[in-house]
Amino acid sequence: MTVHVSPVAPSGTPGPPGRLRRAWAAAHAPVPGVRRWARIAACAVPLVVVPSSVWRVVVVVFDDGTAEKSGNLPAWLPLQVYVVLLSVFSELVAFIAVGLIAAWGEAVPRWVPLLGGRRVPTAAAAVPAALGALLLTVLWTAAFVADAAGVTLRGDPAPSDFPTAAGGWKAAVFYVCYLPLLLWGPLLAAVTVAYVRRRNRPGPAGPR
């Protein structure tokens, strides 16, 4: 007979793995009224950012030529640290989209000092999300248009060591990792519209 033992701390409370799973589930659990497509779109936003984040980290760690470059970074900030922080920050920003379908997008989590438990005004979440969706759509569309034209976003000629200039498998991997970013803005925009419609939908107590 096989005995399954759950990760429980001596005090009877769930151990760290159990708490982590519960926190993960709570952060992603949709509130009542969220449409299935909106949930899929919201959860897809962090996923479309993952490939480019992984690509940056892999290149800066394993490509000696890239690792030796520092660009305009200050001397005290190593390129490797900057890239890792940038990738983590990108994922955190992308994860905010999940809040548009979860409870923490309608009420501030109770563990937040001073604001815990308070209702999140619809505009306080929707306006930044809408502006972010617009900015991301314009930014990444312009970036790929510029790449196709062989220039940077500033209009300068693309450097000879740019990944797409190398051609072959390196350019293919770059495009596979970065093309999903074209979906970031539109997905966020769609989830934002669904969020506003749901929050303004009349209910027993009026709009939420």
Nearest alpha carbon to residue 196 among 128, 109, 138: 128
pTM of the predicted model as reported, rounded to 2 decimal places: 0.81
- Read off the pLDDT of residues 92-109 as tens digits, 9 standing for 90 and up: 999 999 999 999 989 888
Q: What residue ranges do the domains of the chain occupy?
A: 34-199
Nearest alpha carbon to residue 6 among 23, 21, 26: 21
- What pLDDT is attached to residue 5? 47
Cα separation of 123 and 107, whole Å? 13
Cα separation of 44 and 191, whole Å? 11
Task: Show Cβ contacts of residue 6 under 8 Å, excluding neighbours closer than 6 positions.
Answer: 14, 18
> How large a percentage of the chain has pLDDT more than 90?
46
